[in-house]
Structure 1
């Protein structure tokens, strides 16, 4: 749901101890999300909120007017209101993602599992940066950048992740049979690569990522997308709008 007003919530001014206590003792938080009508850096945050069954709405965006009132002058920003009325302003996409993953128990059950989750979650940042080069390339250079991405970056990422997923039994998870932040990040990464394919390179992509060629990654994608709350979100009108907005913005 997108809010009709464009007024930003006012963050509660309090000590770090008081803010931490509000987070740790809240019985149910609500959220307001500020981002463009695109997937981009907002997609995993939306997926995490959906997975956690959180009550959230997207704020109507007036970016020129709002930019000065955000922590770093960049998006996304997430506002969490705890059950006692404390308003927390959360910024920087990876920091927001980790915060939500902690809240929804998606970081593993011990220190080693936490490392594994973080390892495979953060390994996707370099892949994302190089994928963005494809998306933002001038149209006449898009296929060139895409070929470089498919040749130089994607195969290494696939090999490393497939090896780990096979060791874990190709069961759709990175850690035992738990849903984790790494699962959700991988699922959306595979979805984005399959959604944003330059014309003429469809077979190239199918030769790299498919149920037959990448069974581990494919199983993660299917497992995450089959989760009832994720599936409901992906079937929503808002998700369809964001899909269309993303493809339209990048001219795919």
Structure 2
């Protein structure tokens, strides 16, 4: 159900001091013009906080209503949807009154989840969770395998998914891949979800991947506040930087 007016409440968003799974939620708050407490906890404090979280993970969003009621929930995708339904007075980020548009948004959103699943094995093995994939704790080939998986992802999966994005850009913007946004002329939550995911591969965070590529940006008259990795809060005048990658835009950058 689309927002009928901003809900009177305060919002506390808890996550680590990184972009990660939380960045799309931060972006959505900023795009909706809703102030929130951006509670960034130190990694050293996570073990003491973990038992109190719904699923032993963050982000967690805590809502405090005017009457004192407190509601807390997890899952970043649910948070994005909750924020736009309650605070997007323009009804453009997630236009539920337009069933075809919102279906398109969900389709593009699903592509983001698909790419994350493709990246997941190399990510989690690199984090030392290789036993979850059937490998012994003492596994001498771990580093070599992680490098191989990430390079294959770069060679095959990243260009494939970014090709899908280019197709959507062209199809939804009159044939021009460098105009508009993923689902048309207006920013939607599909862009807010994809933006941090693509920035991750550009930011020099992932070993073996970032030593090999740079990403080309489309600016589309929007800018991003790189200092805080969130949208500037001036809604309607300044929004965000959108970046897209296609096979043709993969530029070798070996250090």
TM-score by length of structure 2 reads: 0.66
Alignment deviations for residues 15-35 of structure 1 (CA, whole Å, 9 cap, x no partner): xxxxx9xx9765443211121
In structure 2, the residue matched to 1:243 is none
- Residues 91-129 of structure 1, C-alpha deviations (whole Å, 9 max, x = no match): 112111221232323212411111111110121012123
* Of 14, 25, 32, the match for 1:52: 32
Distance in 2 between residues matched to 1:48 and 1:172, nearest whole Å: 18
Specify which of 90, 105, 109 is matched with residue 73 of structure 2: 90
Corresponding residue to 1:146 among 137, 146, 150: 150
2:172 pairs, out of 142, 165, 168, with 168
Contact kept, 8 Å, 1:27 with 1:83, in 2: the verdict is no
1:117 aligns with: 105
Give me the whole-angstrom Cα distance separating, in 1, the residues matched to 2:209 and 2:185: 34
1:202 Cα deviation (Å)? Answer: 5.3
Q: Does residue 161 of structure 2 align to residue 157 of structure 1? A: yes
TM superposition shift of 1:79? 0.7
Q: Residues of 2 paired with 1:231 and 1:55: CA distance?
A: 12
How far apart are the structure 1 equivalents of 2:216 and 2:168? 17
Q: Which moved more, 1:112-121 or 1:161-170?
A: 161-170
CA distance in 2 between counterparts of 1:72 and 1:63 reads: 13
- Residue 195 of structure 2 corresponds to 187
**Against the structure 1 CA distance between its residues 91 and 111, is the aligned structure 2 distance closer, same or farther, given a 3 Å change threshold?**
same
Q: Equivalents in 1 of 2:198, 2:190: separation in Å?
A: 12
Unaligned runs of 5+ in 1: 1-19, 212-217, 234-252
Contact 2:150 2:208 in 1 (8 A): no
Say if 2:106 is the partner of 1:107.
Answer: no
Q: Which structure: greater helix fraction?
A: 1
Pair 1:232–1:111, CA change in 2 (3 A)? closer
Q: Does 1:130 align with 2:118?
A: yes
Higher strand fraction: Structure 1 or Structure 2?
2
Residues 155-203 of structure 1: CA deviation (Å, up to 9, x unaligned): 2211111111112224232333222100111222221111136577657
TM-score under structure 1 length normalisation: 0.67
Aligned-pair RMSD on alpha carbons? 3.2
- Residue 210 of structure 1 corresponds to 216
**Does the 8 Å CA contact 2:31/2:233 hold for their aligned counterparts?**
no
Aligned CA distance change for structure 1 residues 112 and 73 (closer, same or farther; 3 Å): same
